[in-house]
Amino acid sequence: MKILLIQTRKDKMIEHEYNCIIKEMDLKPEELIAYDMFKENKIDAEIADQYDAVILGGTGEFAVYNKDQLPFLEDIYKLIRYCYDKDIPLIGVCFGIQLAAMAFGGEVKYMPENKEAGNYLVSLSEEGKKNPIFEGMPDPFCAVIGHMDCVTKVPENAVILASSERCAVQALTFPGKKFYVFQFHPELDKQGLVDRLKFYYKKGYAQEEEITDIIDNAREANEPRKILKNFKKMIM
Protein backbone atom coordinates (compact mmCIF):
# COMPACT_ATOMS: atom_id res chain seq x y z
CA MET A 1 0.00 0.00 0.00
CA LYS A 2 1.14 3.50 -0.84
CA ILE A 3 -0.81 6.58 0.27
CA LEU A 4 -0.07 10.24 -0.50
CA LEU A 5 -0.58 12.74 2.35
CA ILE A 6 -0.96 16.36 1.22
CA GLN A 7 0.16 18.69 4.03
CA THR A 8 -0.32 22.46 4.30
CA ARG A 9 1.39 23.19 7.59
CA LYS A 10 4.45 25.34 8.36
CA ASP A 11 4.75 24.39 12.03
CA LYS A 12 5.83 21.30 13.95
CA MET A 13 2.28 19.90 13.87
CA ILE A 14 3.17 18.67 10.38
CA GLU A 15 5.02 15.78 12.02
CA HIS A 16 2.29 15.32 14.61
CA GLU A 17 -0.33 14.94 11.88
CA TYR A 18 1.78 12.43 9.98
CA ASN A 19 2.41 10.32 13.09
CA CYS A 20 -1.26 10.34 14.11
CA ILE A 21 -2.35 9.06 10.69
CA ILE A 22 0.36 6.40 10.68
CA LYS A 23 -0.86 5.22 14.08
CA GLU A 24 -4.60 5.22 13.39
CA MET A 25 -4.30 3.55 9.97
CA ASP A 26 -1.67 1.11 11.24
CA LEU A 27 0.68 1.97 8.40
CA LYS A 28 4.41 1.60 7.95
CA PRO A 29 6.32 4.84 7.27
CA GLU A 30 7.04 3.73 3.71
CA GLU A 31 3.30 3.35 3.12
CA LEU A 32 2.45 6.99 3.88
CA ILE A 33 4.31 9.51 1.72
CA ALA A 34 4.12 13.11 2.98
CA TYR A 35 4.01 15.93 0.44
CA ASP A 36 4.79 19.31 1.99
CA MET A 37 3.06 21.96 -0.12
CA PHE A 38 5.15 24.78 1.34
CA LYS A 39 8.40 23.06 0.40
CA GLU A 40 7.26 22.00 -3.06
CA ASN A 41 4.99 25.02 -3.74
CA LYS A 42 3.21 23.09 -6.51
CA ILE A 43 1.83 19.66 -7.30
CA ASP A 44 0.80 17.89 -10.50
CA ALA A 45 -2.58 16.18 -10.34
CA GLU A 46 -1.23 13.12 -12.15
CA ILE A 47 0.96 12.29 -9.16
CA ALA A 48 -2.13 10.63 -7.69
CA ASP A 49 -1.79 7.83 -10.26
CA GLN A 50 1.23 6.57 -8.32
CA TYR A 51 -0.77 5.95 -5.13
CA ASP A 52 -3.57 3.76 -3.84
CA ALA A 53 -5.22 6.74 -2.11
CA VAL A 54 -4.78 10.41 -1.25
CA ILE A 55 -5.25 12.07 2.16
CA LEU A 56 -5.80 15.82 2.52
CA GLY A 57 -4.37 16.92 5.86
CA GLY A 58 -5.47 19.80 8.04
CA THR A 59 -3.93 23.13 8.99
CA GLY A 60 -4.01 25.31 12.06
CA GLU A 61 -2.69 28.44 10.37
CA PHE A 62 -4.46 29.03 7.07
CA ALA A 63 -7.85 29.16 5.37
CA VAL A 64 -9.01 28.58 1.82
CA TYR A 65 -9.60 32.32 1.41
CA ASN A 66 -5.92 33.07 2.26
CA LYS A 67 -5.03 32.85 -1.41
CA ASP A 68 -2.03 35.13 -1.09
CA GLN A 69 -0.52 32.79 1.49
CA LEU A 70 -1.45 29.61 -0.36
CA PRO A 71 -0.34 30.10 -3.99
CA PHE A 72 -0.70 26.38 -4.66
CA LEU A 73 -4.45 26.19 -3.93
CA GLU A 74 -5.45 25.76 -7.57
CA ASP A 75 -3.00 22.86 -7.88
CA ILE A 76 -4.64 21.14 -4.91
CA TYR A 77 -8.10 21.73 -6.37
CA LYS A 78 -6.98 20.14 -9.65
CA LEU A 79 -5.58 17.17 -7.74
CA ILE A 80 -8.87 16.71 -5.87
CA ARG A 81 -10.89 16.83 -9.09
CA TYR A 82 -8.43 14.44 -10.74
CA CYS A 83 -8.92 11.91 -7.94
CA TYR A 84 -12.68 12.24 -8.37
CA ASP A 85 -12.52 11.77 -12.15
CA LYS A 86 -10.10 8.83 -11.98
CA ASP A 87 -11.82 7.14 -9.01
CA ILE A 88 -8.70 7.40 -6.87
CA PRO A 89 -9.79 7.00 -3.21
CA LEU A 90 -9.52 10.23 -1.24
CA ILE A 91 -10.08 11.20 2.37
CA GLY A 92 -9.74 14.66 3.91
CA VAL A 93 -9.66 15.92 7.49
CA CYS A 94 -10.61 19.40 8.75
CA PHE A 95 -9.02 21.71 6.15
CA GLY A 96 -9.53 18.80 3.75
CA ILE A 97 -13.31 19.18 3.69
CA GLN A 98 -12.94 22.89 2.97
CA LEU A 99 -10.51 22.24 0.12
CA ALA A 100 -12.82 19.64 -1.37
CA ALA A 101 -15.85 21.92 -1.12
CA MET A 102 -14.03 24.75 -2.90
CA ALA A 103 -12.66 22.41 -5.58
CA PHE A 104 -16.22 21.60 -6.67
CA GLY A 105 -17.83 25.02 -6.45
CA GLY A 106 -18.87 25.02 -2.81
CA GLU A 107 -18.33 27.82 -0.31
CA VAL A 108 -16.43 28.18 2.95
CA LYS A 109 -16.86 31.06 5.37
CA TYR A 110 -15.14 32.32 8.51
CA MET A 111 -17.70 31.76 11.28
CA PRO A 112 -16.06 32.35 14.68
CA GLU A 113 -19.46 32.30 16.36
CA ASN A 114 -19.73 28.64 15.27
CA LYS A 115 -16.19 27.63 16.16
CA GLU A 116 -15.59 24.26 17.77
CA ALA A 117 -12.52 23.36 19.83
CA GLY A 118 -12.55 20.13 21.81
CA ASN A 119 -15.00 17.21 21.90
CA TYR A 120 -18.44 17.54 20.31
CA LEU A 121 -21.30 15.23 19.40
CA VAL A 122 -21.68 14.49 15.70
CA SER A 123 -24.87 13.00 14.29
CA LEU A 124 -25.19 10.92 11.12
CA SER A 125 -27.63 11.74 8.34
CA GLU A 126 -29.73 8.95 6.85
CA GLU A 127 -27.09 8.61 4.12
CA GLY A 128 -24.37 8.51 6.76
CA LYS A 129 -26.06 5.71 8.66
CA LYS A 130 -25.91 3.54 5.53
CA ASN A 131 -22.37 4.42 4.46
CA PRO A 132 -19.59 1.87 5.11
CA ILE A 133 -17.15 4.60 6.16
CA PHE A 134 -19.07 4.74 9.47
CA GLU A 135 -19.26 0.98 9.93
CA GLY A 136 -19.25 -0.03 13.60
CA MET A 137 -19.95 3.48 14.87
CA PRO A 138 -22.81 4.72 17.06
CA ASP A 139 -25.06 7.63 16.25
CA PRO A 140 -24.36 10.19 17.56
CA PHE A 141 -20.67 9.87 18.38
CA CYS A 142 -18.12 12.03 20.16
CA ALA A 143 -15.51 13.58 17.86
CA VAL A 144 -12.43 15.77 18.12
CA ILE A 145 -13.08 19.07 16.34
CA GLY A 146 -11.13 22.30 15.93
CA HIS A 147 -12.14 24.95 13.38
CA MET A 148 -13.48 28.44 12.83
CA ASP A 149 -14.38 28.05 9.14
CA CYS A 150 -17.44 26.13 7.93
CA VAL A 151 -18.62 24.77 4.62
CA THR A 152 -21.69 26.90 3.94
CA LYS A 153 -22.50 25.70 0.42
CA VAL A 154 -22.24 22.04 -0.48
CA PRO A 155 -20.99 21.16 -3.97
CA GLU A 156 -23.53 19.90 -6.49
CA ASN A 157 -24.06 16.12 -6.21
CA ALA A 158 -22.28 15.95 -2.83
CA VAL A 159 -24.12 14.36 0.09
CA ILE A 160 -23.88 15.40 3.74
CA LEU A 161 -23.09 12.40 5.93
CA ALA A 162 -22.83 14.03 9.34
CA SER A 163 -23.51 17.27 11.22
CA SER A 164 -22.95 18.82 14.63
CA GLU A 165 -25.00 21.42 16.49
CA ARG A 166 -22.68 24.24 15.40
CA CYS A 167 -21.66 22.96 11.98
CA ALA A 168 -24.16 21.51 9.51
CA VAL A 169 -21.46 19.97 7.31
CA GLN A 170 -19.22 17.65 9.31
CA ALA A 171 -18.82 15.01 6.59
CA LEU A 172 -19.33 14.88 2.83
CA THR A 173 -19.12 12.27 0.11
CA PHE A 174 -20.05 11.84 -3.53
CA PRO A 175 -22.28 8.80 -4.12
CA GLY A 176 -20.48 5.97 -5.85
CA LYS A 177 -17.04 7.34 -4.98
CA LYS A 178 -14.51 6.40 -2.32
CA PHE A 179 -14.31 10.10 -1.54
CA TYR A 180 -14.78 11.17 2.07
CA VAL A 181 -14.00 14.48 3.73
CA PHE A 182 -14.56 15.44 7.37
CA GLN A 183 -14.60 18.66 9.37
CA PHE A 184 -13.70 16.70 12.52
CA HIS A 185 -10.44 14.86 13.15
CA PRO A 186 -10.74 11.05 12.89
CA GLU A 187 -6.96 10.79 13.32
CA LEU A 188 -6.85 12.28 16.82
CA ASP A 189 -7.17 10.55 20.18
CA LYS A 190 -7.37 12.36 23.52
CA GLN A 191 -3.64 13.06 23.65
CA GLY A 192 -3.67 14.26 20.07
CA LEU A 193 -6.46 16.68 20.92
CA VAL A 194 -4.54 18.02 23.92
CA ASP A 195 -1.38 18.44 21.84
CA ARG A 196 -3.21 20.41 19.14
CA LEU A 197 -5.14 22.58 21.60
CA LYS A 198 -2.02 23.53 23.55
CA PHE A 199 -0.24 24.42 20.35
CA TYR A 200 -2.99 26.28 18.50
CA TYR A 201 -5.28 27.89 21.07
CA LYS A 202 -3.60 31.30 20.65
CA LYS A 203 -4.73 31.23 17.02
CA GLY A 204 -8.24 31.93 18.30
CA TYR A 205 -9.55 28.40 18.77
CA ALA A 206 -10.05 29.01 22.50
CA GLN A 207 -9.50 31.74 25.04
CA GLU A 208 -6.74 31.26 27.60
CA GLU A 209 -9.28 30.94 30.41
CA GLU A 210 -11.13 28.23 28.41
CA ILE A 211 -8.22 26.03 27.45
CA THR A 212 -7.73 24.36 30.86
CA ASP A 213 -11.39 23.44 31.09
CA ILE A 214 -11.43 22.04 27.54
CA ILE A 215 -8.33 19.94 28.21
CA ASP A 216 -9.61 18.72 31.58
CA ASN A 217 -12.80 17.53 29.90
CA ALA A 218 -11.11 16.00 26.84
CA ARG A 219 -12.33 12.52 25.94
CA GLU A 220 -10.74 9.67 24.02
CA ALA A 221 -13.31 9.88 21.19
CA ASN A 222 -12.50 6.33 20.14
CA GLU A 223 -15.36 5.88 17.68
CA PRO A 224 -14.29 8.32 14.91
CA ARG A 225 -10.87 6.71 14.80
CA LYS A 226 -12.56 3.70 13.16
CA ILE A 227 -13.08 5.84 10.08
CA LEU A 228 -9.46 5.68 8.93
CA LYS A 229 -9.45 1.92 9.49
CA ASN A 230 -12.67 1.58 7.48
CA PHE A 231 -11.13 3.65 4.69
CA LYS A 232 -8.04 1.43 4.72
CA LYS A 233 -10.23 -1.65 4.31
CA MET A 234 -11.88 -0.03 1.28
CA ILE A 235 -8.59 0.46 -0.54
CA MET A 236 -6.81 -2.77 0.32
Active site residues: 94, 185, 187
Q: Say what angle helices 95-103 and 73-85 make with each other, to 10 degrees.
A: 80
- Identify which of 142, 137, 141, 139 has the alpha carbon closest to the alpha carbon of residue 119: 142
CA 57 to CA 40: how far, in whole Å?
Answer: 16
Helices (H), the chain: 13-25, 37-40, 73-85, 95-103, 126-130, 190-200, 208-216, 226-235
Peptide bond into 140 cis (omega under 30): yes
**Alpha carbon of residue 146 to chain centroid:** 10
